[in-house]
Amino acid sequence: MGEEYVIHHPDDLLVYEYDGSVDRNVPQAVVLPNSTEEVSRVMALAYREGIPVVGRGSGTGLSGGAIAPEGGIQIAFPRMHHILEVDTENCSATVQPGVINLDLDTYVRRFGFRYAPDPSSQRACSLGGNIAENAGGPHCLAYGCTTNHVLGMEVVLEDGTIVNLGSTARQTPGYDLRGVFTGSEGTFGIATKIMVRLLPVPEAVKTFLGVYPDVDSAATAVSAVIGHGIVPAALEMIDALSIRAVQNVMDAGYPEDAGAVLLVELEGLQEEVDEIGAEVEAALWESGPSLVRVAEEENDRANLWIGRKGVLGALGSLAPNYYLVDGVVPRTQLTQVLRQVSRISEEYGIPIANVLHAGDGNLHPSLLFDERQPGALERVIEAGAEVMKVCIEAGGALTGEHGVGLEKKELMPLSYSQDDMDAMLLVRQAFAPENRLNPGKIFPDGTHYQPPARRPEPGMTV
């Protein structure tokens, strides 16, 4: 493959020891292939030598998915970053795994299309990583997550075999291997070519911002919108602490005393957006907001989003580190669960800032701490697990879009019985009988993951 594309000097490898989560471990080598054949050859070699292989996109994952806990070879894709084809007839695009999510979306817009899944790290995250984690994003409320947009893939299995899953034809005979592969967190194979579905750019978009005195009244507004039989394109909430963080670093136009901010986005025909928009506005006013703003022009809409998009980066103004949780609950349980989150915050003495994909019931509480204080990290991890338990008890799930990875594997029994997990493991045995791909992830094995510590940086998003 060429010496320059194999990284093995310890100093250089440090760049690959971490991802967006808090786990770390240094791989023995990182390879930067330029073709499917090169990926296949590297994997065949590793297979023969019994070396674990971990795929890595941009390293923005939030559950330790791209970390090599047992060492081994990391395969990264900065060189496989080409958009291979945009098929306007079939509303699809074929890309290499290193293509950045936002780059794809930006590129296809010139043809009147969009790529709908928009994880908040979309400026940096790659399609390959999106496939591995079944990435979500605010607009998954209306359009579904990555898995609903993957039509086909070329994947390399652990022994180097190349297989095609799915196709441009929307239905194929046999088991839905492309479906079960998506979200398998790099344990079934490594995708080297990805065909995704594109959607037409909507005719009209309208964004609403509502400012509420507290989380309860904002959550009531969420219920009111959904209760009107409206599924917006996006429905996001941020709480008082997040608002304070945002206002510390920029003026997002939020009043100082705001207890919660709600963002609602509608897309569709002008008629739909107008008719439903009037209902959304009425629903937002029902639970006593101090302010409701509406924007239709692109720049005005971007201004309404600016605070929401800046939250995570702004948390640095409150604490040196944060630990981000990704629970999901039925939307009607949001108010109750948020109260419990604030109880946990008080009990542990840990400030928690909340950002929510409220329409999906997907919470992102950020537990704020200072890793230099002895024991702080351990307490944060403990409180985070407590939050996840609350989500499960409310009928929810451990993770909505970040994946299990290293972070949550020991908590899997909260969601699934041993029999449930055994069924999943049977599928892994079918794809990767030797378990050489991304080993040590997803399933509990008694090894507790080393607590995370992460510094907020400007531009970080969730």
Partner 1 sequence: MVDRSSSGASGQRSAATDQRPLDAAHWLGDDLLGDYAIDGQAPDGVVRPESRQQVAEVVRWARQENVALFPRGGGVHVPLGSPPGRRGVVLDLSRCNRVLDFQPSDLTVTVEAGITLDALQQHLATGGKFLPLESPISGAATIGGSLAANVTGPLRSSFGLPREWLIGIGVVNVQGVETKAGGKVVKNVTGYDLDKLYTGSLGTLGIIVEAAFKLAPLPAESGALMAVLPSMQAGVDSGSVLAKQVYAPQGLQVLEQRLARRLSRRIGVNPSLSGIQLPETGQGECVALALFSGRAAAVRRKLRESAAFLRDRGASQLTEVTGGQAARLHRAVTDLGWEQDDLPRLTLRVNVAPSDTGKALVWLSGSNEADYAPQAEMIPVDVIADPGFGMVRVFVWPDGPEGGADDAQSMDSRLRGNDDRRGEPQIRVDDAQQASFVSRVRELARGIGGSAVVERASPEFKGMVDVWGDSPEGSHIMERIKDKFDPTGIFNPGRFTGGI
Site for partner 1 in 153-172 (CB under 8 A): 163-165, 167-172
Among 186, 403, 440, 456, contact with partner 1 (rule: CB under 8 A): 403
Q: What is the DSSP string of 201-213?
A: PPSEEEEEEEEES
Say how far apart CA 159 and CA 34 lie, in whole Å: 19
Of the CA atoms within 13 Å of residue 284, those in its CB half-sphere come to 28
Site for partner 1 in 239-268 (CB under 8 A): 268
Among 58, 431, 453, 460, contact with partner 1 (rule: CB under 8 A): 431
For partner 1, give the closer residue by CB, 35 or 164: 164
Asked if 444 interacts with partner 1 (CB under 8 A), we say: no
Site for partner 1 in 316-345 (CB under 8 A): 328-332
**H/E/C letters for each residue in 335-376?**
HHHHHHHHHHHHHHCCCEEEEEEHHHCEEEEEEEECCCCCCH
Would you give the end-to-end CA distance of the chain in angstroms?
A: 36
**To the nearest whole angstrom, how small is the minimum distance from the Cβ of residue 438 to partner 1?**
13
CA distances from 216 to 329, 366, 367 (A): 16, 19, 20
Contact predicate 341/390, CB 8 Å: yes
**To the nearest whole angstrom, how small is the minimum distance from the Cβ of residue 243 to partner 1?**
24
Asked if 278 interacts with partner 1 (CB under 8 A), we say: no
**To the nearest whole angstrom, how small is the minimum distance from the Cβ of residue 171 to partner 1?**
5
Show Cβ contacts of residue 457 under 8 Å, excluding neighbours closer than 6 positions. Answer: 313, 316
Site for partner 1 in 351-380 (CB under 8 A): 357, 360-362
Of the CA atoms within 13 Å of residue 417, those in its CB half-sphere come to 2
**To the nearest whole angstrom, how small is the minimum distance from the Cβ of residue 447 to partner 1?**
18
Site for partner 1 in 194-213 (CB under 8 A): 200, 202-203
Asked if 440 interacts with partner 1 (CB under 8 A), we say: no
Among 28, 382, 421, 450, contact with partner 1 (rule: CB under 8 A): 421
Binding residues for partner 1, rule CB under 8 A, total 85
Site for partner 1 in 59-118 (CB under 8 A): 87, 89-91
Say how far apart CA 177 and CA 131 lie, in whole Å: 13
Which region among 7-15, 49-57, 346-354, 421-429 touches partner 1 (by CB under 8 A)?
Answer: 421-429
